[in-house]
Amino acid sequence: MTETTQPANVDQSALWNGGAGNAWVEAQTVLDEMLAPFERLLVEQGLHDGTSSVLDVGCGAGSTTLSAARRLGRVGSCVGVDISATLLELAKTRATRERVANVSFVCADAQTHAFEPGRFDAVISRFGLMFFDDPVAAFLNIRRAARREASLTFVCWRSPADNPFMTTAVRAAAPFLPSLPKPDPNAPGQFALADPDRVRRILDASGWTSIELRPVDVPASLAERDLLAYVTKMGPVGLALKEVDEHTRAQTVAAVHAAFAPFVRDGAARFNAASWLVTARA
């Protein structure tokens, strides 16, 4: 009997090359502004003296990759990898427009891609490592691409309880959208690496050492004028709203809008972005 192997991360590929990827492209400017503090944190913490070759995993539209490449200048290079061709088209356009020459982008699944072994002396990621079907296999594959003693530096979200802003839309929409997926803390998704013990187990099992997690709380905001589009187009609520009738959509949007009122003041939605800063060595 011939056995067939299921390709990895099929659902994530469909998601990020479809509705989720399109939504991120549309909201790229808003998202980059909102997540800019994490971009600065990664470049400051993840690039060290002597760093010459950086891999940015789950690079999306390329903001962090471009920032790292600018920091390295002519002495180094930065490669961004992402499963979304949609987002990488934008990343390449930005690199050309911003005249960042020491950067390149690879459309691939970092869990399975045949990276050049031992190429990178630093690996970074801004919220791009929570989406693997098999995180141990993914971090092992990424480690193979890293040189001995290379650094791994990434940020991932802490728990939903620590991030009420990021779960408000789902809570408010749930009565109107019964098809919303039920949260699974170990499934690929936003909070898949929220449990610090799980993160340590994954990294240890995939061969990383000197593993450290530090809680980072970042004051974040987005303009009030952008809030409704952000919360009704991104994430599971955004995807679910594409499939419902106009009456259900109107009810849901109204409920979601009202639920975010406590976060809004002085023309902006303001919240605490609670994450882990994770570091390790190959």
Ordered by start, the domain boundaries in the chain are 10-159+185-221+273-281
**pLDDT, average across residues 180-208:** 94
**Separation CA 9–CA 33 (nearest Å):** 29
Q: ∠64-68-74 over CA atoms, to 5°?
A: 145
Residue carrying the six token digits 């997540």: 35
**Separation CA 157–CA 56 (nearest Å):** 17
- 6 pLDDT band, cuts 50/70/90, is low
Using CB atoms within 10 A of its CB, is residue 249 exposed (0-12), middle (13-18) or buried (19+)? middle
**pLDDT, average across residues 163-184:** 91
* pLDDT score for 3: 38
- 44 pLDDT band, cuts 50/70/90, is very high
pLDDT > 50? residue 2: no
DSSP 186: T
Percent pLDDT > 90 in the chain is 83
pLDDT > 70? residue 278: yes
**Separation CA 281–CA 211 (nearest Å):** 7
User: Which residues have C-beta within 8 Å of that of residue 202, sequence separation ≥ 6?
Assistant: 135, 136, 139, 193
* pLDDT score for 4: 37
**pLDDT, average across residues 111-127:** 97
Question: Under a CB-based contact definition with an 8 Å cutoff, are residues 102 and 78 in contact?
Answer: yes
Of 118, 88, 117, 116, nearest in space to 103 by CA: 88
List pLDDT tens digits, range 200-256: 999 999 999 999 999 999 999 999 999 999 988 888 898 899 899 999 999 999 999
**Separation CA 89–CA 87 (nearest Å):** 5
Residue 74: both structure tokens together: 């002519």
Three-class SS state of 184: coil
Spell out the CATH class of 10-159+185-221+273-281: alpha beta
- The pTM of the whole model exceeds 0.85: yes
* pLDDT score for 78: 97
